[in-house]
Amino acid sequence: MKCKKCGTKASVNMRQHKLALCKEHYLEWVPEQAERFIKKYDMFSHGDRILVAVSGGKDSLSLWDILVRLGYQADGLYIGLGIVGGFGYSSESHRLAAKFADERRLTLHVLDVEAEYGQPIPVMSDISHRGQGKPCAVCGLTKRHVMNRIARDRGYDVLATGHNLDDEAAVLFGNTLRWSGEFLLRQGPVLPEVSGMARKVKPLCRFYEREMTAYALLRGLEYIYEECPFAEGSTSIYYKEALNRLENDRPGTKLTFYLRFLEARQQGLFAQQADARQGLHLCTNCGQPTSAPGLCSFCRMMYKVHGEIEIP
Amino acid sequence: MKCKKCGTKASVNMRQHKLALCKEHYLEWVPEQAERFIKKYDMFSHGDRILVAVSGGKDSLSLWDILVRLGYQADGLYIGLGIVGGFGYSSESHRLAAKFADERRLTLHVLDVEAEYGQPIPVMSDISHRGQGKPCAVCGLTKRHVMNRIARDRGYDVLATGHNLDDEAAVLFGNTLRWSGEFLLRQGPVLPEVSGMARKVKPLCRFYEREMTAYALLRGLEYIYEECPFAEGSTSIYYKEALNRLENDRPGTKLTFYLRFLEARQQGLFAQQADARQGLHLCTNCGQPTSAPGLCSFCRMMYKVHGEIEIP
């Protein structure tokens, strides 16, 4: 297999795109594509201040790397979740995120959940009884709250996450199997700014997971290989595997599923009135948007954990 | 496992319904459920004349059996497709459909495609170059045309087919992976009557395929076990297998996928204007509805096959 651009030996072959590239041209191609997606979905411009949510994994570090290379003003946010695992998941991912930032003299905000909110994620999860024995629900809720809070408090215009096509297609697959209208109307590369919440964007949403792995490896990024120890057996991994089998038999299935969804929605497949974001309220404690009047889910959880609410 | 109704040894255990039944109560339960679906989706009433499309397989013969037991006026239509296969697929399925009708003194209309239209399905397919080497596209087109024609010419109010949940979920799965809006808006247990075309209904659409197999076996129906020899490797079988894996891991997935879809659509998930059935035309040759002005797809195919069009 030869590189389509220069004819030397290809390093990456993308069946679904019918495209093979050598290392050099692959490392050019990924940022070019990312720039195309950023423009196509009108994610942000060079004047915007971008906060990248960095986990220490391949996707978020690659995203930060790509945005900086493309000349965007991108700072990082690392959230210390306090997940110990067998190999020290949180401390190792923190070390790698900090190393990445230091080597490039980039700004990395760090928020340690235990220091800030009194308990690490697994303990919060135990106390609050959310998520049926798994801390993933509490973790997601906390990360969303913290990202919104830091973006707002530090005056960022946009919050960027490293979700790739496999992540997005798996979420879409789950929402579709249940036909969750509320989520089908909202899921996408851009979640517009609403009062108290910065715009959220997913610049990698059209890259296959393996494309991001190839990028991180060929770019020589040092990232945490291990999945979070709590991810095992999760629904999202289950849906990813189901989609991988379909993709394997028919290359391009995953991309078509996601892109045709975005296209069909834009062309008016869904009725607009079902958009739940129309009726958002502001949490009476933290001021972040929430679906019902009163406290948001995060503040209700904090109340369970501490038995009291602190005004932030 | 014991029968939920009488406590004797159960013959059928339905994990997804958390219900086990003995032979006697299963043979009661299936028609009761069918009657529930017929009423729920307002398919037809006892005053309607129903034409059941009978292939000789377990689903269509069970459907006919159930409708007659429920006291509906149901005649059969067998379409001779001229598929020879290794074991004489068409002649064997014809024999079994005729036997079923004779034993019960029911009316079975028979239309032989070769006698009526000059060629059997596989030859029509070869000549017309539809469907990429497989006769399935031509077969589906022809069956739809013939069913509509006989229903109209013989004055039936409703056309009933034996599509089960596995069939319906597989079609929905394919349409969803591609987000085919036109089909998503139309697929369902009832396709209302339009000018020149009888109402179409699928009374078995909420029964799992294995539930229908169990019904046919326990009822002692003699049906053709083999699939059509051309079905091997088809997309619908591929999607059925994919859904069966999901169902196997999480019983009820298939039923939830289909029912939540119907529910969400009824609750207004989709924008109504995309319904393609609004702008139907009538074929200038056969008078059946078609999406574009002029000849319908079937008559265009017949023109290819014969080089001329006969007024029916």
- Contact B264/A181, CB-based, under 8 Å? yes
CB contact under 8 A, A271 and B273: no
Question: Mean pLDDT across the stretch B19-29?
Answer: 98
What ipTM did this prediction achieve?
Answer: 0.88
Residue B311 pLDDT exceeds 60: no
Q: Is B151:B200 a contact under the CB 8 Å cutoff?
A: no
> What's the pLDDT at A278?
58
pLDDT of residue B246 exceeding 50, the answer is yes
Q: Which residues of B touch A177 (CB under 8 A)?
A: 246, 253, 256-257
Which residue on chain A is closest to B239 by alpha carbon?
A: A246
pLDDT tens-place string over residues A157-170: 999 999 999 999 99
Q: Encode pLDDT of B122-132 as tens digits.
A: 999 998 888 77
Give residue B310's pLDDT.
Answer: 63
Nearest CA in chain B to A169: B177
Partner-chain contact A271 B269, CB within 8 Å: yes
A chain contacts of residue B169, beta-carbon cutoff 8 Å: none
Q: Do A249 and B261 touch (CB under 8 A)?
A: no
Instruction: Indicate if the alpha-carbon torsion angle A178, A179, A182, A185 is positive or negative.
Output: positive
Minimal Cα–Cα distance from B169 to chain A, Å? Answer: 10
pLDDT at B16: 85
3-state SS, chain B, equals CECCCCCCECCEEEHHHCEEECHHHHHHHHHHHHHHHHHHCCCCCCCCEEEEECCCCHHHHHHHHHHHHCCCEEEEEEEECCCCCCCCHHHHHHHHHHHHHHHHCCCEEEEEHHHHHCCCHHHHHHHHCCCCCCCHHHHHHHHHHHHHHHHHHCCCCEEECCCCHHHHHHHHHHHHHCCCHHHHHHCCCEECCECCECEEECCCCCCCHHHHHHHHHHHCCCCCCCCCCCCCCCHHHHHHHHHHHHHHHCCCHHHHHHHHHHHHHHCCCECHHHCHHHHCEECCCCCCEECCCCCCHHHHHHHHHHCCCCCC
- The model carries a pTM of 0.91
Q: What is the pLDDT of residues B39-63, one digit of tens each?
A: 999 999 999 999 999 999 999 999 9
Residue B239: the pLDDT is: 96
**Does the distance separating the beta carbons of A249 and B238 come in below 8 Å?**
yes
In a 13 Å sphere around the CA of A56, the CA atoms on its Cβ side amount to 22
Nearest Cα residue in chain B from A262? B179
User: What tens-digit pLDDT sequence spans chain A (312 residues)?
Assistant: 999 999 999 999 998 899 999 999 999 999 999 999 999 999 999 999 999 999 999 999 999 999 999 999 999 999 999 998 767 889 999 999 999 999 999 999 999 999 999 999 999 999 888 877 789 999 999 999 999 999 999 999 999 999 999 999 999 999 999 999 888 998 999 999 988 789 999 999 999 999 999 999 999 999 999 888 888 888 999 999 999 999 999 999 999 999 999 999 999 999 875 445 557 889 999 989 888 899 999 999 998 888 876 645
What pLDDT is attached to residue A309? 67
Task: Choose, out of A176, A178, A179, A257, the residue to mutate when testing the contact with B (most B CBs < 10 Å).
Answer: A179
